[in-house]
Amino acid sequence: MNRVLQFVGPNGAVQLFGVKLVGVTGENGKKVLLSLIFIALVWFLAWVIGKIASALLGRRSHRAAFWTKQGVHLFSAATIVIVLCSVWFTDPARLATAFGLVTAGSRLLFSA
Per-residue model confidence (pLDDT) at position 109: 60
Structural domain tally of the chain?
1
pTM of the model: 0.68
Return the pLDDT at 2.
Answer: 59
Quick check: is 41 in a domain? yes
Mean residue pLDDT across the chain: 80
> Which H or E element spans position 63?
helix 62-88
Residue-wise pLDDT for 21-73, tens only, equals 777 777 888 888 999 999 999 999 999 988 888 888 766 777 887 888 889 99
Contact 91, 69 (CB under 8 A): no
**Alpha carbons 5 and 26: distance in angstroms, whole number:** 11
How large a percentage of the chain has pLDDT more than 90?
Answer: 20
Residue 18 covered by a domain: no
Closest CA relative to residue 27, chosen from 10, 40, 11: 11
In a domain, 3, yes or no: no
CA dihedral 16, 17, 19, 25 (to 10 degrees): 20
Is residue 17 within 8 Å of residue 4, measured between CB atoms? yes
